[in-house]
Chain A
Amino acid sequence: MLPTTILIVAFGSAGFVYLAGRVHARVRDTLAVLSSLVLVGLIGLGYGAWREVVYVPDFLGLELVLRLNLLAWFFAITVAAVVSLSTIFSLSYMRRKESANFHYSATLAVEGAMLGTVFAGDLLSFFIFWEIMSWSAYLLISCNRGRALEAGLKYIIMSLVGSCAMLIGLLAMYSGLGVLSIPLVAEGMQAASPGFVLLVLLTFGLGFGIKSAMVPLHTWLPDAHSEAASPFSAVLSGVLIKMGIYGFVLLMYVVVGLKLLLGVGAGWLTFRHILCWLGAITVVVPTFIAVLQSDAKRLLAWSSIGQIGYIILGLSFGTSLAFAGAIFHALNHALCKSLLFLAVGAVEHNTGGVRDLNDLGGLAKRMPVTFACALLAGLGLIGIPLTSGFVPKWLIYRSLIEDGYPFLALAALIGTWGAILYVYKLLHNIFLGQLPEKHREVRRAPLSMRIPILLLGLGILVFGVVPGIPLRAVQDIGHTFGLAQLKVTLWGLGSEAGALNMLNICLAVVIAFAAAFLLLRLGAKGRAVDQEDSYAAGSAVPVGRYHYTVDFYGPLSRMISPYLRDRADEFYYWLAARGREIADLTRKVYTGYAGTYVLYIVSFLAALIFLQLVWHIW
C-alpha cells in the first residue's frame, strides 16, 4: 500500500498545513517541515519493495494503478529530498510574508502531484497527476503578483498546449489499443504501425518537451524561474522540469521501447537524430544567453535550459553510457541548481531583495558557508572532477566521441566552457571583489537557510567522489530497459580501455594539495590587509564602489549578442498577437445588441428558406 500512503500523506498535509496556518504560523512551519521529511523517510523505506497497487478498480472501465519501481523511486527520492530542503529553507525566507500559508500548502501539493506522476502505473493517472502538477505550479509561480502574473500566464498557456497534445496522444492510444496501463500499452505498441508510433512520440514529446523546457519549447522558463519565490524556483528548476525528463524516459524507453524507437524515421532523418540535435542546440544557445544575463535568477534559469540539453542529448542518444550519463546528470542538476537558487535566495533575503548582479559584491566574507556551497554547485554544473557533475558529463562525452558523433560532442563540450563563464560571473559578481558600502551590514544567512544549502553541497561532493552510489542505481534502471550492463565500481567505471577511477583522481588531488600547501608554508607569511588596501597603480581608490561587474564579458557579448535573439519567444508572441487579432475580429460579430442577433437569426432563416426554394435539398 506504500505509494498510496505516500500520496495520501502528501496531499493530506497540503490541506492540513493550510488549516494550521490559520491557527498559528509556528504550527504550520513545524507541520510543513515534518511532513516533507516524513515523505523522504517513507520513500526511502520503499526502496526495494517494488509493487503495483490498484487504487481505483473501475474508472470508466479502466483500472487506475500506482506502481513503485526503481525508476520511479529514483525520481521520487530526488523530488522528496529537494522539496523538503526547500521547505526548510522557506522557514526564514517566508517568515512574515502574507502568502506563506499558501506557499507551504501549494508546495506540498506540487510535491504530491510530482510523486503521483512518477508513481502512476497507467497513463490516465499519469495525465491526472500531471495536470494537478501544472496547475499548482502555476499558482505558485504567479504568487508574487506583478511580473510574476505574466510569467505564470505564459507558463500555464504553454503547459496547456502540451497537455492538449498529450490528451490527443492519450485518446489515440485508447482508441487504438483499448488499454492505458503502461505495460499493456508498451506491449500494444510493438505491434502498432510506424505512423501511430510517430504520433504517440510527437504528441507526448510536445508535452514533455514543454515541461522540460527543451529548445524551441523553452520560452516559459526564464520568466517563470526568475519571478517565482526563490525556494520554489529551486523546486521548479531542480525537480519540476525533471518531470519532463521522466516523461521522456517513460515514453522512449518504456512505452515505445528502445528497439522500436531506433526504427522511427528514415535514413538520417530519424526521431532520435532530430532529438539529439535539438538537445545539442539546447545546450549551446541558452548557455551563451545565460552568459549575457545580469539578473542572478535569470542567469540560473537560462543555465537550467542549457543543462537540460545534456540530459535530452544523453537520453536520445540511447547507448547505455549516454543513458546513465543523462539520468545521473538529472540528479546532479537537481542538486546543483536547487543549491544555487537557494544560495541566491539567501543573498536576496539578506540584502533586502537584491538579485541584480551589478549591485552586489564581496559577500563571501559575510556569508562564507553560502559562498562555499554555491562554489561547489557552480563547479558541479561545469563538471569539474570530484563534483557530481563530472562523471555524468564524462559519460555523455565519451559515448558521443566513441560512437562517432564528434559534432554533438563539440556542442556538449562548448556548452561546458560557456558554463564556466556564467558560473564565474555569478560567483564573482555576488561573492568576490569588494563589498559595497550599502552591504556592509549584511550578516550570514540564518541556520534554516544554511542547513539545506550545506546538505545539498555535501551531496554534490559525495556523489562526486563516490559516483558508484547513484551510478549503480542508474545502470540498473538502464538494464531494465534492455541496455547493456556497465562495469560500475564504487569509484567509477572499470573497463579495459578508458576506465574511470575517481579514487585515483581524489587521492592525487589530496596529495598534490598537501604538497602545494607545504610549499606555501615554507615561505614568509603574508600580512592580512583590508579591501581598501589594494594596488591601483597610483590612482585614487573610490571606497566601496571598486568592484568590476558591469559588462563583465563586454567584448564577447558585443560579438555574440546579435546572434542570440530568442526567436522562438518572438515567434510565440507573434502567434499570440495574431490570435488576439482573430479574436478581435470575431468579437465584432458579437455586438451585444439584441437587435443584431435577431438580424443574424432572421438572415440565417432567410438563407435556409432560399436554399430550400432554389435547390429543394430537404
Chain B
Amino acid sequence: MVTRIIHIVLSPLIALVVAVFLLGLSRIVIARIHRRYGPPIYQPIIDIIRLMNQQSISHGTLFELGVVLALAGSIVTVLFIPLGGTNAPPGSYPLAHGLLCPLSSSGGLLVVIYLMLFGPVSIALGAGASENPNASIGVSRKMLLALAYEVPFLLVILAIMSHYGTISIAEIVSRQQDSAWGVFSVPLSAVAAFLILPAMLGIRPFDLVGAPQEIASGPLAEYGGRYLALLTIQNGIQVFVVIALFVNLFLGGGVNVITFLLKVFAVFLAAELVSAVLPRVRIENALRFCWTWPTGLALAQMIITVVSR
C-alpha cells in the first residue's frame, strides 16, 4: 500500500520534471539546427514562474475549468502508463526494479487511449468558452488533426493488441522484454507510429492547431498568465505521455526508470530532428498524409498480424 502511494506520487512528478526538461531540450535542439545559440535548458521553468505571476483575463468558469481538467487529465493518464521497471523475477536483469505503473490493472491500453482524450477535449471546451473565433478555428483544426492521426494510431494499437493478445500495457511490455521488441515484431506499425508522432505531439510540420502567425495561437489565443502556465505544463506532460507510450509499445519499455527515460529522450530527439527542418502543412494536407502512408503501413501490419495468428 505504501509503495503504491509512493508510486502514485512519483509517476506524475517524474512526468512533470521530464516534461519541462523536454520542452527546454526541444528549444535548444531546434536552435542548434537553425545555427542559433538558443535559450538555457531551464528557460521553461523561468517562463512558468513568470507566467504564474503575470496578470491575465478570464472568460468565466468553463474557461478556467477547461485548464484544470486538461492538466488533471494528463496527470491521470501518466498513472496508467508504465514508466520503466519489470515484472520479471528479481535478478533477471541487472539494475532492474518492480514495474512503476500505479494503475496498471485498471482497463489497460483502452483506458489510456480514452484518457488521452481528456486533455484535448478539456482544452477544446475551455477554448470554446473563450469567445474568440481564432480559438474555435484552432479547436476545429485540432479535432480534424486528431481524427487524422487517430485512424493510423488505432490501427497501430489494434495490431499490437492483437499481436500480443492482451489489452494490458504492462503485459505488452513484459512480453517484449521476454522476446523481441515491438519494433522488430510489428515493424510496419512502428514505422507508421513514428510517421504520425509529430502530429500526435503537435510539433512541426503539424503545428497548425496553434499556428501563431495564422490564428493567433488558436485555442490558446485568450489564455495568459497562470492559465498559460498550466497549459504549458499540460502540453509537456502530453508530449511525455505520447513518447512514453511509443517506448512502451515498440522499444520494450525499460527494466528501470533510467533506461526508460533514456529511450524517451532518444525518441523525442528523433521526432524533433524531423520537425526542425520541415515547414507547416495545411489541415487538408495533414488529413491526406495521415490517411495514406501511415494508415497504409499500419493496415498492412494489421492484416499480417490477423493472417499469421
Which chain A residues have a beta carbon within 8 Å of chain B's beta carbons? 362, 364-365, 375, 379, 382-385, 390, 394, 397-398, 401-402, 404, 406-407, 409-410, 413-414, 417-418, 420-421, 424, 427-428, 431-434, 492, 497-501, 504-505, 508-509, 512-513, 515-517, 519-520, 522-524, 526-529, 531, 533-537, 546-549, 552-553, 555-556, 558-559
| Contact indicator A524/B144 (Cβ below 8 Å) | no
At the interface, yes or no: B29 with Cβ under 8 Å from chain A?
no
What chain B residues lie within 8 Å of A402 (beta carbons)?
165-167
Query: Please, how many angstroms separate the alpha-carbon atoms of A319 and B161 in the complex?
Result: 19
Given A500-B107, A509-B72, A528-B60: A410 and B154 within 8 A (CB)?
A: yes
Q: Min CB distance, B77 to chain A, in Å?
A: 9
What chain A residues lie within 8 Å of B199 (beta carbons)?
none
Chain B minimum-CB-distance residue to A534:
B132
What chain A residues lie within 8 Å of B32 (beta carbons)?
none
Given A394-B107, A406-B302, A417-B146: A548 and B167 within 8 A (CB)?
A: no
Of B52, B131, B167, which is within 8 A of A522 by CB?
B52
> Mind listing 11 A-B residue pairs with CB under 8 Å?
A404-B309, A410-B302, A413-B113, A414-B151, A424-B124, A427-B125, A428-B124, A501-B106, A519-B233, A529-B59, A531-B59
Chain B minimum-CB-distance residue to A546:
B133
Query: Please, how many angstroms separate the alpha-carbon atoms of A508 and B51 in the complex?
Result: 27
| Contact indicator A526/B76 (Cβ below 8 Å) | no
| Contact indicator B136/A428 (Cβ below 8 Å) | yes
Query: Please, how many angstroms separate the alpha-carbon atoms of A421 and B306 in the complex?
Result: 30
At the interface, yes or no: B187 with Cβ under 8 Å from chain A?
no
What chain A residues lie within 8 Å of B140 (beta carbons)?
548, 552-553
Q: Min CB distance, A325 to chain B, in Å?
A: 12
Query: Please, how many angstroms separate the alpha-carbon atoms of A362 and B221 in the complex?
Result: 17
Chain B minimum-CB-distance residue to A379:
B121
Query: Please, how many angstroms separate the alpha-carbon atoms of A431 and B75 in the complex?
Result: 28
Q: How many residues of B contact A (CB 8 A)?
A: 84
* CB 8 Å contact bits of B30-67 with A (1 = contact, 0 = none): 00000000000000000000011111111110101001
Given A384-B114, A406-B306, A553-B140: A498 and B108 within 8 A (CB)?
A: yes
At the interface, yes or no: B110 with Cβ under 8 Å from chain A?
yes
What chain A residues lie within 8 Å of B288 (beta carbons)?
559
At the interface, yes or no: B229 with Cβ under 8 Å from chain A?
yes
Q: Min CB distance, A529 to chain B, in Å?
A: 5
Given A406-B161, A516-B68: A498 and B107 within 8 A (CB)?
A: yes
What chain A residues lie within 8 Å of B221 (beta carbons)?
534-535
Q: Min CB distance, A49 to chain B, in Å?
A: 36
Q: Min CB distance, B121 to chain A, in Å?
A: 7
Query: Please, how many angstroms separate the alpha-carbon atoms of A364 and B126 in the complex?
Result: 12
Of B51, B108, B144, B154, which is within 8 A of A556 by CB?
B144
Q: Min CB distance, B172 to chain A, in Å?
A: 11
| Contact indicator B106/A500 (Cβ below 8 Å) | yes
What chain B residues lie within 8 Å of A522 (beta carbons)?
52, 226
Q: Min CB distance, A273 to chain B, in Å?
A: 15
| Contact indicator B147/A556 (Cβ below 8 Å) | yes
Q: Min CB distance, B174 to chain A, in Å?
A: 12
| Contact indicator A509/B76 (Cβ below 8 Å) | yes
Query: Please, how many angstroms separate the alpha-carbon atoms of A513 and B306 in the complex?
Result: 40
Q: Min CB distance, B288 to chain A, in Å?
A: 8
Chain A minimum-CB-distance residue to B158:
A406
Query: Please, how many angstroms separate the alpha-carbon atoms of A257 and B147 in the complex?
Result: 39
* CB 8 Å contact bits of B145-164 with A (1 = contact, 0 = none): 01100110011001101100
Query: Please, how many angstroms separate the alpha-carbon atoms of A402 and B230 in the complex?
Result: 38
Query: Please, how many angstroms separate the alpha-carbon atoms of A529 and B64 in the complex?
Result: 13
At the interface, yes or no: B128 with Cβ under 8 Å from chain A?
yes
Chain A minimum-CB-distance residue to B111:
A385
Chain A minimum-CB-distance residue to B136:
A548
Prevailing SS type, chain B contact patch: helix
Query: Please, how many angstroms separate the alpha-carbon atoms of A424 and B282 in the complex?
Result: 21
Given A505-B111, A534-B132, A548-B140: A524 and B106 within 8 A (CB)?
A: no
What chain B residues lie within 8 Å of A546 (beta carbons)?
131, 133
Which are the 8 A-B pairs with shortest beta-carbon distances?
A523-B226, A432-B128, A526-B58, A548-B136, A548-B133, A516-B71, A512-B72, A523-B52
Query: Please, how many angstroms separate the alpha-carbon atoms of A79 and B229 in the complex?
Result: 48
Chain A minimum-CB-distance residue to B283:
A555
At the interface, yes or no: B216 with Cβ under 8 Å from chain A?
yes
Q: Min CB distance, B296 to chain A, in Å?
A: 14
Query: Please, how many angstroms separate the alpha-carbon atoms of A414 and B171 in the complex?
Result: 25
Q: Min CB distance, B148 to chain A, in Å?
A: 9
Q: Which of B76, B108, B287, B288 has the most CB of A within 10 A?
A: B76
Of A364, A384, A398, A505, which is within 8 A of B129 by CB?
A364
* CB 8 Å contact bits of B1-27 with A (1 = contact, 0 = none): 000000010001000000000000000
What chain A residues lie within 8 Å of B283 (beta carbons)?
555
* CB 8 Å contact bits of B288-309 with A (1 = contact, 0 = none): 1000000000000010011001
What chain A residues lie within 8 Å of B110 (beta carbons)?
394, 397-398, 401
* CB 8 Å contact bits of B84-114 with A (1 = contact, 0 = none): 0000000000000000000101111011011
| Contact indicator B54/A527 (Cβ below 8 Å) | no
| Contact indicator B121/A515 (Cβ below 8 Å) | no
Given A512-B76, A526-B58: A375 and B167 within 8 A (CB)?
A: no
| Contact indicator A517/B222 (Cβ below 8 Å) | no
Of A364, A509, A520, A559, which is within 8 A of B284 by CB?
A559
Query: Please, how many angstroms separate the alpha-carbon atoms of A285 and B129 in the complex?
Result: 30
Q: Min CB distance, B64 to chain A, in Å?
A: 7
| Contact indicator A527/B57 (Cβ below 8 Å) | yes
Chain B minimum-CB-distance residue to A531:
B131
Query: Please, how many angstroms separate the alpha-carbon atoms of A523 and B75 in the complex?
Result: 19
| Contact indicator A535/B134 (Cβ below 8 Å) | yes
* CB 8 Å contact bits of B74-86 with A (1 = contact, 0 = none): 0110010000000
Of B55, B144, B147, B282, which is within 8 A of A527 by CB?
B55
Query: Please, how many angstroms separate the alpha-carbon atoms of A364 and B65 in the complex?
Result: 14
What chain B residues lie within 8 Å of A398 (beta carbons)?
110, 167
Chain B minimum-CB-distance residue to A522:
B52
Query: Please, how many angstroms separate the alpha-carbon atoms of A39 and B227 in the complex?
Result: 50
Given A418-B147, A533-B57: A513 and B69 within 8 A (CB)?
A: yes
Of A407, A513, A523, A555, which is within 8 A of B51 by CB?
A523
What chain B residues lie within 8 Å of A535 (beta carbons)?
132, 134, 216, 221-222
Q: Min CB distance, A299 to chain B, in Å?
A: 15
Query: Please, how many angstroms separate the alpha-carbon atoms of A414 and B151 in the complex?
Result: 7
Query: Please, how many angstroms separate the alpha-carbon atoms of A333 and B298 in the complex?
Result: 32
